[in-house]
Amino acid sequence: MSVTTTRAPVIRSVDAVHRLGTIVGVWAHPDDEVYLSGGLMAAAAARGQRVVVVTATRGEHGTDDPARWPPARLAARRSEEIVASMAALGDTIEHRFLGEARGRCHLDGALVGDPGGDTVDELAAVLAEVGPDTVLTFGPDGLTGHPDHRAVSAWTGRAVGQVATAPRVLHACVTDLWVSRFGEFVEPMDDGDDAFAPYPSDRLAVELELEGELLARKVAALRAQATQTASLEAAVGSARYETSVAGEYFRPAVGS
């Protein structure tokens, strides 16, 4: 007897975001969440869905000017920036730093695939408490190939496996069309051989192209994280920058 599986329809409009239910995003650094899912989160929050963002590090090494931004100073600034950024998306969006409750923050650039049971248990406890329908995170490739991104993907997969009722897990990705239009953004962020490997549009779970007020809200949230976004926007121009961040794409995790 054959079994037919039905794939969920692709979410291509704001009106369909409600199908994601309660959302938890698990990311490596402040700004990952907005670049990859800012519009989706804003749309969900506006509809009354619970949205929780979990960030593994404070991104203290995310600068080309360490003299101006030594790690402690940058960590403090980025911790403030992400709060302002989430408020720009919607004042009901919740944010947590992983490890903060235990007073042991994870170091930017030092994440590993097996962080020990405490970290995975803490993340699993967040998932059990929130009870998300959908978890958004990186895939095993880390999207850009960044080791921190890859590590967070592994942590999330293990944590989901500990939850009694497993949520659907979606991995951030890009499409062929995005790569062809914005190839100049790929090389500076390419941290691995499989960085920005495009995923077929017909197999996506989410393919949102933001516009109007929702795109403006996302751009405002990005600008709130100026230590990470201001120089890029200045380099490419505001119009090009805004167009490049309009797309948000997720693929189903294997087995999800």
CATH number of the domain that residue 41 is part of: 3.40.50.10320
| pLDDT in the model for residue 212 | 97
The residue type of 145 is G
Say how far apart CA 167 and CA 209 lie, in whole Å.
Answer: 25
- pLDDT reported for residue 100: 80
Q: What is the pLDDT of residue 164?
A: 93
pLDDT digits (tens, 9 = 90+) for 210-248: 999 999 999 999 999 999 999 999 999 999 999 999 999
How far apart CA 13 and CA 178 sit, in angstroms, is 18
State residue 183's pLDDT score: 79
What are the tens digits of pLDDT across the range 132-162?
999 999 999 999 999 999 999 999 999 999 9
Q: Please indicate, yes or no, whether the overall pTM of this predicted structure exceeds 0.75.
A: yes
SS3 244: helix
Range of the domain at 212: 14-252
In a domain, 18, yes or no: yes
Is residue 30 in some structural domain?
yes
**From its phi and psi, is residue 103 left (phi > 0), alpha (psi between -120 and 50) or beta?**
left
Based on the structure, what is the number of domains in the chain?
Answer: 1
Residue 194 has pLDDT above 80, yes or no: no
* Confidence class for position 192, pLDDT limits 50, 70, 90: low
Q: Tell me the percentage of the chain whose pLDDT exceeds 70.
A: 93
Tokens found for residue 177: 């069309």
Highest averaged pLDDT of the listed ranges 8-12, 60-64, 96-100, 215-219? 215-219
Average pLDDT, the chain: 92
Question: What is the helix (H) or strand (E) element at residue 248, kind and residue range?
Answer: strand 247-252
> What percent of the chain has a predicted confidence (pLDDT) above 90?
84
36 closest CA partner among 96, 115, 94, 89: 89
State how far the alpha carbon of 218 is from the alpha carbons of 143, 149, 168, 171, 248, in Å: 20, 21, 24, 19, 11
DSSP reduced 3-state for 209: strand
Q: Is residue 4 part of a domain?
A: no
In the predicted model, is pLDDT for residue 5 greater than 50? no
Please determine, for residue 8, whether its predicted confidence score (pLDDT) is greater than 70. yes
42 in Cβ contact with 36 (< 8 Å): no
Please say whether the beta carbons of 34 and 82 come within 8 A: no
Asked if residue 207 is part of any domain, the answer here is yes
pLDDT band at 3, cuts 50/70/90?
very low
Residue 92, C-beta contacts closer than 8 angstroms, at least 6 positions apart: 45, 50, 51
32-46 and 71-89 helices, crossing angle to 10°: 30
- Tell me: the pLDDT tens digits for 78-130? 999 999 999 999 999 999 999 887 767 899 999 999 888 899 999 999 999 99
If you search the block for the tokens 């121009």, which residue do you land on?
A: 237
Has residue 3 been placed in a domain?
no
Residue 228 phi/psi, 5-degree rounding, is: -105, -20
Give pLDDT, residue 99.
87
Residue 4 pLDDT greater than 60, yes or no = no
Above 60 in pLDDT, residue 73?
Answer: yes
What pLDDT is recorded for position 174?
Answer: 95
Angle (CA) 79-45-105 rounded to 5° is: 25
